[in-house]
Chain A
Amino acid sequence: GENVEQHPSTLSVQEGDSAVIKCTYSDSASNYFPWYKQELGKRPQLIIDIRSNVGEKKDQRIAVTLNKTAKHFSLHITETQPEDSAVYFCAANGNNRLAFGKGNQVVVIP
């Protein structure tokens, strides 16, 4: 089955700086890659996604890039704010199920 790995596990950034989280996946048949943000005690919230026919997608301060050849995709957060502090999960679909990474704790230091 699909195996998704995230790096780094924890990322601390100064407010206003950019944060980048990278994920790798194993199944070349995967064609949908969402990113979820989960704050403590809350549900995972879909923040952006990308499909395999697209290389990059942006939505205000967040963007996702996909490299199908290398089987990795990345989340970019620009101009980070304290409310961006959360755990971010990447996922890849395979056979109608999402396989999630273990998550990255992002801490934005005011």
Chain B
Amino acid sequence: DTGVSQDPRHKITKRGQNVTFRCDPISEHNRLYWYRQTLGQGPEFLTYFQNEAQLEKSRLLSDRFSAERPKGSFSTLEIQRTEQGDSAMYLCASSSTEEQYFGPGTRLTVT
């Protein structure tokens, strides 16, 4: 499968715990995006990388959130001290031009 992949697909955690998600983009894509999607809503932009540089962050991305893309390949999104409001689908997308292709997402449930 040469599409965008994400791991894990599902994560259940207790409030206050830290979680980390991984995204592997399509190999030739230099741009990588993280979005959050809640029920009945469209994806909401969180952050964007071009190669290894994080070029933009949404104000939705509080201090508890951090993202990295070492070496410009895969990316990780970490949420520290999770809250119930963090429960959502976290989607990754990659692109080489404007066309963004999404991964299957990681569904986070905070109990």
Q: Which residues of A contact B (CB under 8 A)?
A: 4, 32, 34, 36, 42-46, 49, 51, 89, 91, 93, 95-103
The interface residues of chain A lying within 8 Å CB-to-CB of B45 are 97-99
Q: Which residues of B contact A (CB under 8 A)?
A: 33, 40-45, 48, 55-56, 58, 91, 98-105
- A contacts with B: majority SS: strand
- B contacts with A: majority SS: loop
CB within 8 Å for A102 and B104 given contacts A43-B91, A96-B55: no
The interface residues of chain B lying within 8 Å CB-to-CB of A34 are 98-100
Tell me whether B99 and A103 are in contact (CB under 8 A): no
A3 vs B40: C-alpha distance when bound (angstroms):
17
The interface residues of chain B lying within 8 Å CB-to-CB of A95 are 56
The residue of chain B having its C-beta at the shortest distance from the C-beta of A32 within the complex is B98
Tell me whether B100 and A46 are in contact (CB under 8 A): yes
Tell me whether A97 and B42 are in contact (CB under 8 A): no
Tell me whether A89 and B43 are in contact (CB under 8 A): yes
Of the candidates B41, B44, B45, B55, the one having the most CB atoms from chain A within 10 angstroms of its own CB is: B45
Tell me whether B98 and A49 are in contact (CB under 8 A): yes
Tell me whether A43 and B43 are in contact (CB under 8 A): no
